[in-house]
Amino acid sequence: MVRVGLVGCGTIGSQVARALQRDYHHAARIVALNDCNHRQAALLQRRLTGHPPICSLPALVRKWLNAIFELLLKYKGVVRLGEVAEKLIQLSKDIRSVMEVLTDHKKTAAIVVTIPKAMAVVESERLINALKAGKIQCDWVVVNLAAQAGDCGLCTAYAADEAIWIDKAKRLCKNSAVIPYLADDIGGV
């Protein structure tokens, strides 16, 4: 069973999450959600089976824990810690082990999925930069729902407009794929 931590709970993240639970529930389980917009994460959390927890990024949580540990050391003679200190230490160890997995390029790689629109590509670039800052490798950018030029004048116009954003998205990562818009849903595995 693959455990999935979903970073980004907007339109694309929500679609991915629902597809995982609907079509791949036997092979994958969403274990955590994260989004800089907590409201979006909470909305998605309520819609998903099992209501996976909303987690802060591990590095941020570790910073908070370090600040708490500094306070605990400062007031160790004043306050009895006992069980609280043990739980904080275990949480710190758990976060360290998660960070080791996330930053191990042999065990973890991010795949960023976007659409060929200005805001989506800019937000994907921001996500990739945040991953790099956290030393998490991003191996692929997938551009989904790309319009295709053809007999339809409107489709050709959309494809021309999206070409700029597809090129920008492709430059975000060493590997990229473009998935065309399909009028019919894809079924099966």
Q: What is the pLDDT along the chain (189 residues), one digit of tens a residue?
A: 777 888 888 888 898 899 899 998 888 888 888 887 888 889 999 999 899 888 777 665 776 777 778 877 887 777 777 777 788 888 888 878 888 888 888 888 889 999 999 999 999 998 898 888 788 899 999 999 999 998 889 989 999 999 999 999 999 999 999 999 886 776 665
Assigned token pair, 132: 């790099």
Q: Nearest CA to 174 among 138, 125, 145?
A: 138
pTM beyond 0.75: the answer is: no
How far apart are alpha carbons 12 and 28 in whole angstroms?
Answer: 17
CA distances from 85 to 26, 70, 82, 88, 90 (A): 38, 12, 6, 5, 9
End-to-end CA distance of the chain, in Å? 17
How far apart are alpha carbons 59 and 166 in whole angstroms?
Answer: 31
